[in-house]
Each structure stands twice: as C-alpha cells, then as structure tokens.
Structure 1
Amino acid sequence: MKSRTRRSHQVKIHVENGRFQIEGMNTWFSYWRDPYHLVLTLPWTGVAAFIFVIYLGINVGFALLYMLGGDSVANATPGAFWDYFFFSVQTFASIGYGAMYPQTFYSNTLVTIEAISGLLAIAILAGLAFARFSRSTARVVFSKIAVITPHEGVPTLSFRAANKRRNLILEAQMRAYLFRDEETAEGQHIRRIHDLALVRSQTPGFALTWLVLHPIDQFSPLYGITPEEMIESNCVIQVNLSGIDETVTQVLHDRHSYVPQEILWNHRFVDIVHKTPDGHRVIDYAHFHDSEPL
C-alpha cells in the first residue's frame, strides 16, 4: 500500500533526443479529475462520445425513476422501459409531442426536475462548444535547426520563425531560455535556466518571417561552450512566442525547443528573400529550414 501511494505522487521524466519529456503531459486522460480541462483537451470524436454517454445516462436514469412511479405517464405502457425512456428524451429536450404526458404529482415533479436539468445541460454544452471553438491557436512555424554563425563580428545563435497565416500578430514577443545541468559550489546537481538576450525580442507586427539572433558574447551563458559540452550538460534552448492575433484580437502562444543535435555550428541559413526581374520581392519558404556551411 505504501509503495502504491508513493508511486501515485511520482512524475516520470524521460530524456528523448536531448529533450526532457514528462509522462502524461498534455494528454487528455491526465485531466480526468478536472472535467472542464478534460473536455477542452479531448479530441472531437471523444467529445461527441462523452456527450452521447452523458445524454444517454441522464435519460436512462430518469426513465427508471418514471417507472418507479407506476402508471404515472399517460399513454405509456406500464413497465415498458422504452416508453419511459423516449418520454424522458422529449422532456429533457423540451420537445413535448403531447402523446405522452405526466398525470400524477410524482411524474410532474420529475418532469420539473428534468426540464431544469435540460436547460442547464444545454447551457453547459453551449459554453463548452464555444470555449473549444474560440480558442486562438498560433500557426507559427520555427526552423527545424538553429545555427551558430558570425554576425557583426560576434558568434551568434540564430533561428527562424514564420507566421503561416496571412495576417498580423501584433506586439509579438520572443523569449529564449537555456536549460542545462549544472553543479553548484556545494556539489549539488541542478537543472538551471538562463535567459538568452536577443538582438530584437519584439516586433510591432509579425506577418512574414523573423530571424531571431542571440549574440554569444562574454555576457551570454553560451560563451566559450563547445558542442560536446552542450551535449554533456543536456542543453536545451526553449523559445516562447506570444502576441495578439489581429483577426480575432486574442492572445496567442507558441513554443519550440532546440537540442544540441539540432544546432549547426559554422553554418548560416540559406537566403529565402529574392528579387524578381520585375522588381518585386518574394519569400521562398521551400528553403525555410535549409542552411549551408560557411
């Protein structure tokens, strides 16, 4: 019993390709104690099944209660479950065909309770559906790799981001962090987070592409580090993007991470901005993830 209780308070962490993965994170079944979060994280097929089971269970429950009242519903065959079940469906949805109707105080009381329950259920389902549809999602793509190349005479870590929607992300902000294993002066092993200063961490309108730059100078936590040291210390560069979607005027978020195997040293990104013969500028997204050695 003690070992089972101890395991219930443990969170498993896996290291996969340099990334730390928390078991059960962002999976719908991990929110079973939080019904609202559960419905928001379930796939649409799961939501439909969830609604069907709840709807079926409520009507089965009320049908059994009507049966306990004996001949309490007019034109319903006493003891016929399906008659009471379909009467419950009509009452719950406020359909009221008139073929069956309550004829005792007991059945009228149940109809009152079920009618109120139906109104509450419709309001809750409408709210959940609106919450799912109104969630703003960021369609931002990050380059599959990051590169370290000289920029203005300083080794610079850089990666690309692009807005896949043809609209503006207003007041877009980019933050970059370095996660790595370190040892304190007392010999304690810790996972420490360092801020990575960016040349430009925000833009008034993010519409096309964004080349994010972090100079590796004497103030950078990456200063003097080697590719081998990055792997040994389990370095991960976490990138967070936030802004306001101009179309729906809602705050959106997105994130990406780079492990040492995805950081190419002495490489630079292939230029994707070209000028056509007629003088127009175009962006070639076909080479968005491509780089070339110096």
Structure 2
Amino acid sequence: MAKKIKDPGIGLSSNKRAKRFINKDGSFNIKHVNRRTSISRSYNYLISISWFKFFCWVFLGYVFINSLFAIIYVTVGISAITVPTGSIVGDFMKAFFFSAQTVTTVGYGAMAPKGIVFGVISSIEALIGLLSFSFITGLLYGRFSKPKSSIRFSNIMVLREHNDVDCIMFRLMSRSTNVMIRPKVEVTLALSQKTKDKKYVNNFYNLKLERNEITYLPTTWTVVHPINESSPLSEFKKKDLPQLHGEILILVTYYDESFAQEVHQVHSYMLHNLKIDEAFISAFHYDEDGFTILDHDKIGKTKSL
C-alpha cells in the first residue's frame, strides 16, 4: 500500500485545469503578480537569461544611453562639439557618435566639447560609461562562474515490462564531457484527484526506484520505478495511467568537477505523455578501436515492443 507524503512545497490545492508544476526547462510554472523589483532581482535575471537575451539588453542599454546624451547635446547646442549640419537628424547622429566615443572613453579627437557646460555633461557621461561597463563585466563573470547543471533528460517516459514487472522509465545523461560524480535522483508523484466534495487536491507519493544513486555517469542512466504493490500507481490499470492528472517531479543532485561543488536540477514528466510498451534504444556503442561512442541525439529515441 502506497503511503502519502507531506507536501514537498508545491501546495495541496489543485484545479481541474491546473497545468504542470515544472516546465521543461526546469523552471517552476508560476506567474508572479504585484512582485516588487530590486537591483538584486535584476542581477539574478541578467545572469540567468540566455546569452542572446543578455546581449540584446546590453545593446539596448548602450543605444539608450547614447541616444539620451545625444538629445541633451543637440538640445544644449551641437555647435559646442562640432559644426552643425543644418539637419536635426544629421546633428543627432553626430551627437550620438560623440556620445559613443565619450561613454567608451575612446575619444578619437575629431570632436571635443567646448565650454564648462559640455565639459560637465561629457564628464558625467564618461563616469556613467565606466560604471556601466564595470557592471557588465561583473555580469559576464557571474554568468560564467554561476554553477549550472548540465543534465539532459529524455523527452518522454516509457512504460514497459522489466523483470516481469511493469515499470516506468526515463533516461538522463550529461550534456558535457564532464563525468557526473555520485548522481542521486529523487522522484515524487504529484497526483491531482477529485474529493467527495468535488474539490481537487494534490496527493504526493515518493516513488521507489531500482537505484536512486550511482557512483558516476559517463554515458546514460535509465531510471526505473517498478509498479509493484508498494507503488501508488499499482491500483490503476496500465491503459488508465495516461488518463490521470499526474506529474512526476524529479530532483537530480551530483558533484560537478568544473564548479567543485554539488549542483541540482529539477525536471518533470506528465503522465498523459507516457509511452506504453516502448523501450529506449541504446545511446552508445563501441567503434572498431574499442572506444565508447555516445550519441546525444538518441537520449529519447525509443522502439515499440
């Protein structure tokens, strides 16, 4: 008989239309409203987003600062920097390029501020430029030094017979060539069920695995949960499992040599995506010289039984 466990932090209340708790990228599927912002949250955001988004924000910030000071220079009088072109667009472009030279402290010498007012404005801009580039340098260091797990999960789970018992399986591997040291897996089933008063609640169960820890992981690891009498899924027929409103929550912990510390990654699978009577194909083989060849594209490839 399966034993329920306490809420792992997800919440007991549920809904008929409730979506998954954990997204495919490992983030929690929560929409925040009325959340106060701060510099620390901005820092966490900028070191967590993709490289493309990061450089887009850097570019937009660079254009914004130069455009702002270009407008100030044109408003005060572009003649104190260079000869006016007689066109607002032309004057703005000259002021923009002068601002770019000032904020980066390049200073080609073709344009230079004249007078105390322009000297003060350009000095302030140079200070802003120094602080901005120092901030960006810190962000770059934070992005490179932030511990990040490199686990890749199979895109599906399978349900097949293994050792004369129906088992749920999923597979994981390392995205990099680093070997995971002592990876551990903890799997929790979150089952949304309707109560007698027609409300939906989440029930949580620990899923026992054939092995929840190995010594190292140079290739792939197929994690197996046998559906025996101690499994919370044993009361359901095989064909009914994909109809359940359930999610399998996964926490993987391992020691990463690159960061010299433990790293974590969360993932989840929905029961309605369960593939029945399919098996994972081998993701590695040996070449003629005896070397192990690991094919990352085969992590989620299956075959019908």
TM-score computed with the length of structure 1 as normaliser: 0.71
Residue 222 of structure 1 aligns with an amino acid whose one-letter code is L
Would the aligned equivalents of 1:144 and 1:262 in 2 still touch at CA under 8 Å?
A: yes
* Gap runs ≥5 in structure 1: 1-11
Instruction: Provide Cα deviations, 1:93-130, integer angstroms capped at 9, x if missing partner.
Output: 11123343333222222122111100111122223334
Residue of structure 1 aligned with 2:62, choices 34, 40, 55: 55
Following superposition, the deviation at residue 208 of structure 1 comes to: 1.5
TM-score computed with the length of structure 2 as normaliser: 0.69
Distance 2:132 2:299 in 1: 51
2:193 is aligned with 1:162: no
Residue 194 of structure 2 aligns with an amino acid whose one-letter code is E
Following superposition, the deviation at residue 175 of structure 1 comes to: 1.8
2:188 is aligned with 1:177: yes
Aligned match of 1:239: 250
Cα 1:225/1:205, change in 2 over 3 Å? same
Residue of structure 2 aligned with 1:112, choices 99, 119, 123: 123
- Structure having the larger proportion of residues in strand: 1
Distance 2:291 2:81 in 1: 77
Distance 1:208 1:262 in 2: 24
Cα 1:104/1:236, change in 2 over 3 Å? same
Aligned match of 1:144: 156
Correspondence list, 1:145-294, <5 A? 145-151=157-163, 155-184=166-195, 186-249=197-260, 251-253=263-265, 255-264=267-276, 289-291=301-303, 293=305
* Gap runs ≥5 in structure 2: 1-14
Cα 1:148/1:15, change in 2 over 3 Å? farther
Cα 1:56/1:116, change in 2 over 3 Å? same
3-state SS of 1:223 partner: coil
Distance 1:163 1:169 in 2: 7
Out of 282-291 and 156-165, give the one that drifted further: 282-291
Distance 2:144 2:299 in 1: 33
Aligned match of 1:5: none
Following superposition, the deviation at residue 282 of structure 1 comes to: 5.4
Distance 2:294 2:81 in 1: 72
How many residue pairs get matched? 274
Cα 1:73/1:181, change in 2 over 3 Å? same
Aligned match of 2:102: 91
Following superposition, the deviation at residue 88 of structure 1 comes to: 1.6
Cα 1:13/1:69, change in 2 over 3 Å? farther
Cα 1:149/1:52, change in 2 over 3 Å? same
Would the aligned equivalents of 2:193 and 2:203 in 1 still touch at CA under 8 Å?
A: yes
Out of 205-214 and 252-261, give the one that drifted further: 252-261
Following superposition, the deviation at residue 67 of structure 1 comes to: 3.4
Aligned match of 1:6: none
Distance 1:67 1:273 in 2: 64
Instruction: Provide Cα deviations, 1:43-102, integer angstroms capped at 9, x if missing partner.
Output: 545444433332222112212223344477355549843433322221111112334333
Larger relative contact order, structure 1 or 2 (CA cutoff 8 Å, min sep 6) = 2
